[in-house]
């Protein structure tokens, strides 16, 4: 069996657009007719440029290869052009193609992917959700209101979720790490207080920052919210200085989590060696694929570090995350996004059940992709998957973070 054909589908989710402006789906077919699906979570360049990168990676390093030879193909891509170092764009292309290889292998053997990774460790995967507005809540007001967010938190807990993520401190700026505005610290405390009051001890709080702060600024904010006992403090500083995570970890009594913007185990290794994170959050469509992150999970286990696969993409990357999560002993939790489009694109083949995801039992990734639906929602933007603002932190008037992917009307 050899990898033969590649089709790339770029689909743009309809309103409200949770999961990013677009998702890059890859469909790989073998010479024996087995079809595998993957998703490339790569956003440093536009989708048309990524289409060319994905095609080049496939034709140069993977076409006519046995899909079993994942390690060999990874080493080709990782070493391409005399590099042997992490590359977000190239690894984003390979990651989606690698996920498709696992889908093919599982289907060919009539086994779910996790059965090929060491077997089933977790029959039910604990899931968490970001706090999105309820249907009756005004979206513009929601991001500024601790009370509205707390009501949404209580609703999600009633649905069965035991962990909720939110990130009230802004802005998400290209200018790198900065000191938080005092108003952002006060707002963060108010959000934590309101949400903790709403959910009590029924759910963990997951506090995100999108790497906005410098080291001392992250420490100031982290110490201000310690009293609410968050399960994690996510990406408190930018990912371009991994050694500084350990400084924050030593000063703040909240476990640090990070990883959504990192790729390959070599980047994560620096955090493990220095004690910079207690929780790793790889995005499998970017980080090197399923096998590379299975190796990372084994490395993390030796440091008492847990895994929490990240998701701000489509349901195919989510399916890959779920199979990794099902196979590892040091799983903490996995992110999920529940929208009608996420669900319809895989024909409800994997779903959240009272805050947990049952491990799929169907072969491969265990999903049934609605290809016609994906093609019916073509790319409708010239923006990147996520975008950072150019304006600096506003210390006079406060800041409002509503995400790097604007809400669709």
Q: What is the pLDDT of residue 408?
A: 64
Q: What is the pLDDT of residue 399?
A: 85
In the numeric block, which tokens belong to residue 403? 């995400």
Least confident piece of the model among 30-39, 245-254, 390-399: 390-399
Asked whether the predicted pLDDT for residue 98 surpasses 80, the reply is yes
115-365, CATH topology level:
TIM Barrel (3.20.20)
Give the span between the Cα atoms of 139 and 19, in whole angstroms: 16
Q: What is the pLDDT of residue 380?
A: 82
Q: What is the pLDDT of residue 176?
A: 85
Q: What is the pLDDT of residue 406?
A: 57
Per-residue model confidence as pLDDT tens digits over 302-340: 999 999 999 999 999 999 999 999 999 999 999 999 999
Mean per-residue pLDDT, 69-82? 97
Asked whether the predicted pLDDT for residue 404 surpasses 70, the reply is no
pLDDT, the chain, mean? 95
Cα 375–Cα 380–Cα 386 angle in degrees, nearest 5: 110
Please indicate whether the domains covering 3-110 and 115-365 agree at the CATH topology level: no
**Distance, CA of 312 to chain centre:** 5
Per-residue model confidence as pLDDT tens digits over 209-231: 999 999 999 999 999 999 999 99
Q: Provide CB contacts within 8 A for 307, sequence distance 6+.
A: 279, 280, 281, 282, 293, 296, 297, 300, 324, 325, 328, 330, 331, 332
CB burial of residue 223 (10 Å; 0-12, 13-18, 19+): middle
**Distance, CA of 197 to chain centre:** 28
DSSP 82: T
Place of tokens 């509503």: 402
CB burial of residue 11 (10 Å; 0-12, 13-18, 19+): buried
For 338-342, which contacts have Cβ atoms below 8 Å and span 24 or more sequence positions?
A: 338/129, 339/13, 339/16, 339/18, 339/19, 341/13, 341/14, 341/377, 342/13, 342/19, 342/314, 342/315, 342/318
- Closest to 213 (Cα-Cα) out of 231, 192, 239: 239
Question: pLDDT-derived band of residue 354, with 50, 70 and 90 as boundaries?
Answer: very high
In the numeric block, which tokens belong to residue 64? 């006519």
Asked whether the predicted pLDDT for residue 70 surpasses 80, the reply is yes
Give the span between the Cα atoms of 203 and 229, in whole angstroms: 11
Q: What is the pLDDT of residue 34?
A: 98
**What crossing angle do the helices spanning 182-199 and 215-225 adopt, rounded to 10°?**
30
Higher pLDDT: 232 or 16? It is 232
Contact 319, 346 (CB under 8 A): yes
Can you give the pTM of this predicted structure? 0.97
Question: pLDDT-derived band of residue 182, with 50, 70 and 90 as boundaries?
Answer: very high
Per-residue model confidence as pLDDT tens digits over 121-166: 999 999 999 999 999 999 889 999 999 999 999 999 999 999 999 9
Per-residue model confidence as pLDDT tens digits over 258-268: 999 999 999 99
Mean per-residue pLDDT, 72-87? 95
Give the span between the Cα atoms of 66 and 160, in whole angstroms: 42
Question: pLDDT-derived band of residue 398, with 50, 70 and 90 as boundaries?
Answer: confident
3-110, CATH topology level:
Enolase-like; domain 1 (3.30.390)
Q: What are phi and psi of 331, to 5 degrees?
A: -80, 135
Domain chopping of the chain, boundaries:
3-110, 115-365
């Amino acid at each position: 069996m050899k990898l033969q054909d590649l089709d790339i589908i770029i689909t743009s989710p309809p309103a409200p657009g949770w999961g990013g402006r677009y998702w890059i789906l890859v469909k790989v077919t073998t010479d024996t007719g087995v079809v595998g699906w993957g998703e490339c979570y790569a956003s440093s360049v536009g989708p048309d440029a990524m289409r060319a990168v994905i095609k080049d990676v496939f034709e140069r390093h993977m076409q006519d290869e046995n899909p079993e030879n994942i390690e060999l193909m990874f080493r080709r891509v990782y070493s391409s052009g005399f590099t042997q170092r992490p590359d977000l764009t190239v690894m984003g292309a390979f990651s989606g193609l690698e996920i498709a290889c696992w889908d093919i292998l599982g289907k060919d053997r009539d086994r779910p992917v996790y059965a090929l990774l060491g077997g089933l460790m977790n029959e039910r995967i604990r899931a968490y959700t970001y706090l999105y507005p309820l249907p009756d809540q005004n979206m513009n007001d929601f991001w500024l209101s601790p009370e509205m967010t707390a009501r949404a938190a209580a609703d999600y807990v009633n649905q069965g979720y035991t962990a909720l993520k939110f990130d009230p401190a802004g802005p998400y700026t290209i200018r790198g790490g900065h000191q938080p505005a005092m108003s952002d610290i006060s707002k963060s405390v108010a959000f934590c207080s309101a949400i903790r009051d709403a959910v009590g001890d029924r759910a963990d709080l997951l506090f995100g920052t999108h790497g906005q702060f410098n080291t001392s600024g992250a420490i100031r904010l982290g110490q201000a919210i310690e009293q609410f006992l968050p399960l994690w403090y996510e990406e408190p500083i930018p990912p371009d200085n991994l050694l500084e995570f350990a400084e924050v970890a030593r000063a703040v009594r909240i476990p640090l989590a990070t990883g959504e913007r990192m790729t390959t185990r070599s980047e994560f290794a620096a955090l493990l060696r220095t004690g910079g994170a207690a929780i790793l959050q790889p995005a499998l469509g970017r980080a090197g694929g399923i096998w590379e992150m299975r190796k990372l999970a084994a490395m993390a286990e030796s440091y008492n570090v847990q895994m929490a696969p990240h998701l701000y993409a489509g349901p195919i990357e989510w399916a890959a995350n779920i199979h990794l999560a099902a196979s590892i002993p040091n799983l903490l939790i996995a992110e999920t996004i529940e929208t009608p489009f996420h669900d319809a694109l895989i024909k409800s083949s994997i779903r959240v059940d009272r805050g947990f995801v049952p491990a799929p039992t169907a072969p491969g990734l265990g999903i049934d992709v609605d290809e016609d639906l994906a093609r019916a929602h073509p790319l409708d933007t010239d923006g990147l998957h996520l975008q950072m603002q150019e304006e600096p932190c506003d210390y006079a008037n406060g800041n409002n973070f509503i995400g790097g992917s604007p809400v669709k009307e």
